[in-house]
Every structure is written in structure tokens, then in C-alpha cells.
Structure 1
Amino acid sequence: MPYEVRLAQFEGPLDLLLHLIRKNEIDIYDIPIAAITEQYLQYLDELERWSLDVASEFLVMAATLLSIKSRMLLPRRATAEAEEEDPRLPLVQQLLEYERCKWAAAQLAQRAAENAQVYGREPMDLRAYRVERRIDGLDVSLWDLVNAFRKLYLRLPPSERVAEIRGKVEKVEEWMDEIAARMRRYRSAEFGWLLSGERSRGALVAAFLAILELLKDGRLACRQAEPFGPIELVWMGD
């Protein structure tokens, strides 16, 4: 962990400069460098009187302020060219960026304090109530099911009609009830055989989505006796 240096109530030279600017009610875009530099150096002198070690970053900022002060005292060259860049501009940009970060840090600290007042319940161990549902066979992945569905879908005859008027909208919820009723009766069925009677593309897609929903709910399970063999659906109950 890096060692954090804090001088009195200031965490860095930019923090001290912001304090001086606010204390003197100064416009951050028009900083009187001479006055701020003098107050800054006075603060460092007080630290030395207290026999406190001054961090190097504070000394670097003091040198920067003195450099800006000297550039501000130099006479401006009267030329027809564009005006020279204000030597205070880089410092102003640093102060504005530091102020944004400090505001964000304060917001995060407030959120952390609010969250610290919220106490959640410890998670309960529910493993004793878990129902183990295992079936013999190889594990079947989602892509195995998609590949099996793709084979069924490609068996449908190509449609040559330009437009089709549909009298019935296929609903996944209705197909879930239909697949559940079939599986209650058969208990287990081969995936391709279960959907082989559907000749409509919309019905086939809706039935496949219904099977996926039943698998997600744990009402159906899949098994495969051998690699690349037919996929069998098993009814696990409501």
C-alpha cells in the first residue's frame, strides 16, 4: 500500500490551493498569483516551524507558483500576433479537475456511509432442502438442442408463397401446456419424434421455445445415451 501523506487537514498541494482560493473568495479563473503564492509559502513556513517534514509535492507546487509569478511579472511583448497563453491556465485546469475528483470522492463516501447503515440477513444454508434430480446419460448442452432443432427445421419443405395469411398466432405459453401434456403421457420422448408432426415453421419455433422454457423451469430434462446420439426428453414433473 502506498504511504499517504497528509499535512494538517490538506491531502496535497492542490487541496491547499483550493482552500486558499475559497478562503479568499477568489475566482478560480482569475487567480492573483502573487497573493496566493505568498499565503502558500507562509503555510509551508509554519510547517517548518512545527518541525514537520514537508512532502516533496508541496515543494514542487511552491516552485511552480513562483515560476508562474515570475512569468506574470514579466512585461508582455506588444506584437500583432495572437495573445500569449495565460501561464495560470495549466494550474487552473489542474484545480478544476482535482475539484471534480474531490466532489466524486465525497459522493462515493456518502454512498458508502449510507450503505454501512443497511444490514442484510446472512444467507441460509438450504442444501438440506435441495431435491436432487439426476438422470442417467451424457450431459446435453444448449447447442446440442439447437443443432437438433436445426435438423428438424431444415426438413420442412421450402415455402414458395410470397405472402402468408396467418389465422392463428403461435404462443409459447400454449405450447408449454401442450408439451407438458404430451410428456405427462409419454414420460420420455425423443426430441425429433416429439416435434416431427409440426409442419409449420411458426409452430416448430414456438414448440422449441416452449421446450427451452420447460427445461429452464426444471420440468423437463435431457439425456443422450451415446455421443452424437438422439436427444431424449424426460418429464421431471410439475
Structure 2
Amino acid sequence: MVHLDGFDGPMDLLLELARAQKVDLWRISILQLVEQFLAVVRSIPAVRLEQAADWLVMAAWLAWLKSRLLLPEDDGADTDAEDAAALLHERLLELERMVQLGRWLGARDQLGHEVFERGQPESLVEIDRSGLAVDVPQLMRGYMAAMRRRARKATYQPRPPRFWTVQDALARLRRMLGTLMPVDWCGLEAFLPPATAADGAGPLAETGRRAAVAGTLLASLEMARNGTIELRQAEQFGRILLRERMAEDPAAPMQPEGERP
């Protein structure tokens, strides 16, 4: 702030009014302006250098404008005055931009006032205690090997169990007829396939035994329908007997002789 005869206010406003010829520079005392400038600089030891430089530039421009009024005019005065006015205008615009920038910076959030850092940030350092010493090529080779093993991994497919079919039973009956007491009645269980050690004693083995009984029964019914063998069952749910049909006496009564368990 400057206090002069004919003006009381900030120095930048005085410079702007002088540039626009809205203040009477004849009444402005350059001596008072310089004395007040020196008094402010001396009274405030902690004044910023940038601010003091701005004040000095404005005071110099005011002194230069006042000197233009005191000096006699010459032939190139008009040209010099126009150049000086243009230069002064650029300086004022630059000063205005600096003031706006300072206000913008002052309005932003300041660290420690509106914005605060984290009190105790966590450490992102990881310590490897595995003792492994590997490099990037080894890491890439290991990764590619793991991916290849994953691609080659086959899906588990359990082996399907093989049950005794009707075709298997037909082949076994035809092969055994004529060699296993052809004139005697034999139980159906005599033509079942022999159990193996792989069958075990679990549910699968029981299912396989039932499939063998069903397949042999269906095969014997098919051969009886064709006239190859004879079937007999004395009672309901009783034991099923079979023998090869006798060609010389097809109507002979079926009597069990020497039944085999």
C-alpha cells in the first residue's frame, strides 16, 4: 500500500491507472513513492525477494512515466511513448498472470493442512528365505515346463467293467454241450463262467455274477427255442436243469438222472 498525494492504495493499481491515464501523475511524488518503498523493505526483513522485485519494477515504471512528463518532447517522443506503453502493457499482463497463479496455488490443498500423509505406511519389501538362486531364464523354463505338464494331463477315465453277455453264454453252451454228460440233466450254474481273482467280492463282482446268470439263462432259452437243448424246472423259483436234446427220441419223458449240484 502506498499513501501519496492524489492516490491511496496498492502500487499495482496505481500503475494500472497511470497506464490507462486515469490518474494525474503530476500530483504523484516519485520521491515519496521511493521513500515508502524503502521503508517497507527495511521494516520487513523477511519480505520475499520476488515480491520486492515486483514492487521495484512497478516503482521504476512509475518513475519512468513521471520522467516522461518532466522531460521536453523531441521528434521521436511519440514512437518511444507507444513502445513504452506496449511494453508496459505486456509487463502488467505478466504481473496479472503471476498474481492469478499465486491465488490459484494458494487455494489448493496444502500438505499438512488439508491433506495429510499416512502415519505409518506399510513396507512392501519381501524377504526371500528359501535359499533358491534362480535367474529369469530358469524361471521361464520352469514355467513353460509346468504349462506343458498341465497340457499333457489326461482326464481320469475308469475302465468300464466287462459283463457276461448273451453271445458269450451261447458260445460257452455250444462248446460244452456233448462234452459234459450229454445224457444227464445238468444245472444251469454248471455253465456259468469261472470266477477269477480280479472279480473280487465287492458290489461289482455281485453285479457280474448276476449278469452271467441272466446271460446264460437267456442263451439257454434261445437254444431251447431252436430245439438244441431241453430245459426243466420242477417248481416255481426252483433249480433250472438242461441237457442236449436226444435226436432218436424227441418225445421221451424228461426224468432227472444223476443231477449234479
- The answer to which structure, 1 or 2, has the higher relative contact order (CA under 8 A, 6+ apart) is 1
Return the TM-score normalized by structure 1: 0.35
Larger Rg: 2
